[in-house]
Amino acid sequence: MNILITGVAGFIGFHLASELLKKRYNIIGLDNLNDYYSPKYKNQRLNLLRRKKKFKFLKIDLKKKKDLDLVFKKFKPKVIFHLASQPGIMYSFKNPKTYVTNNIDVTKNLIEQSLKNKIEKFYFTSSSSVYGNKKKFPITEKSSLEPINTYAKTKQQCEKILLKKFKNSGVDLKIFRPFTVYGPYARPDMIFITYLKKVMSDEIFFLYNYGNYIRDFTYVEDLAKILSKFLRVKKLKNKIFNICSSKPIKVKKLINIINKKITYKPNIVLKPYRNGEMKKTYGDNKLLKKTINFNKFTTIENGIKKTLNWYKKFNNKKILYFNKVKYK
């Protein structure tokens, strides 16, 4: 059985493909290797996947319907993990159009192919950001959606379209809402790599909301295992799942834990809250745990340790860039 992963050269796509290859699935990975952040870094992840016989990579832009058509005809996938996306919160205010194209339009193209080719399972990674700023915690899958940035709005729109188009189609649709994902091979626009790079080069790091943002950090290898476990779950009434450890911490605490494990002296400047960023994320993961029987979430201490070990060994740090000039 061929499993298609879109966004396979991305942070989560790479970990998911690694996990599924361990389980001996055939993986067809698609990605356009865009330059939102370093394509060389994306290629480095791909090189690790390419060592496996059961992995095939195709450089495809999901906007191109004809290319997508050929992929479906040739490989006849039965399962799609749709992870390709334009991520990033602050950039979504600068260039909203790319979010509409690479999140909404691309998802529509995949739905069209999936219906035409009678796909069995369509698994979509939405985001915890669809919830917006909440007062009641933990946030359950039934909490209302009040997205406060363009990225989250396009994710909400994708969810609506998927639920509508796959209704009564026989396709097993699942929508996942991961909460801030971190770990080895992380995205260079997210807190871990931005912080470590600044600290190690003695540059100022801006800590927004005075470090008081609260995040329900989720370790990436847990997420990959969770997604993989869903392959064995039958079609269910519940289609939407939070993916989080349900152990939120303040970002300043995260920084303190990191600082205790490194020898560099940080240069942190506290900054106020930024519009568009969620003040607190704290998800309820009961439904998830009940559905797939997953209880062993990596603790934040352990996850940080593993991420730092990876970062120290990663010897090509200059490719860990995020296209700031264009995107910040």
Ligand X SMILES: NC(=O)c1ccc[n+]([C@@H]2O[C@H](COP(=O)([O-])OP(=O)(O)OC[C@H]3O[C@@H](n4cnc5c(N)ncnc54)[C@H](O)[C@@H]3O)[C@@H](O)[C@H]2O)c1
Residues tagged active-site: 151
Based on the shown chain and the rule CB under 6 A, indicate whether residue 307 belongs to the binding site for ligand X: no
Contact between 13 and 84 (Cβ < 8 Å): yes
Query: Chain-centre distance of CA 236, in angstroms?
Result: 23
Query: Chain-centre distance of CA 277, in angstroms?
Result: 17
CA distances from 251 to 236, 255, 299 (A): 35, 6, 15
CB of 108 to ligand X, least distance (A): 12
Based on the shown chain and the rule CB under 6 A, indicate whether residue 21 belongs to the binding site for ligand X: no
Which x/- pattern over 177-196 shows residues binding ligand X (rule: CB under 6 A)?
-x-xx-----x---------
Based on the shown chain and the rule CB under 6 A, indicate whether residue 89 belongs to the binding site for ligand X: no
- Under DSSP, the state recorded for 168 is T
**Binding residue for ligand X (CB under 6 A) from 80, 83, 111, 300?**
83
Based on the shown chain and the rule CB under 6 A, indicate whether residue 109 belongs to the binding site for ligand X: no
List, in order, residues 6 or more apart from 132 with CB less than 8 Å away: 145, 146, 147, 148, 152, 278
CB of 289 to ligand X, least distance (A): 18
Which x/- pattern over 63-82 shows residues binding ligand X (rule: CB under 6 A)?
x-------------------
Based on the shown chain and the rule CB under 6 A, indicate whether residue 132 belongs to the binding site for ligand X: no
d(CA 175, CA 240): 5
By beta-carbon proximity to ligand X, the closer residue of 110 and 199 is 110
- Name the segment binding ligand X (CB under 6 A); options: 24-32, 160-168, 254-262, 285-293: 24-32
CB of 124 to ligand X, least distance (A): 8
d(CA 70, CA 96): 29
Strand ranges, E, within the chain? 2-6, 26-31, 55-59, 79-82, 121-125, 172-178, 181-182, 204-207, 214-215, 218-219, 240-243, 249-250, 267-270
- Name the segment binding ligand X (CB under 6 A); options: 28-36, 67-75, 205-213, 316-324: 28-36
Closest residue by beta carbon to ligand X: 10
CB of 8 to ligand X, least distance (A): 7
CB of 16 to ligand X, least distance (A): 9
d(CA 41, CA 319): 6
d(CA 20, CA 230): 11
Instruction: Please give the residue ranges that form the binding site for ligand X (CB under 6 A).
Output: 7, 9-13, 30-34, 42, 61-63, 83-87, 102, 106, 125, 127, 178, 180-181, 187
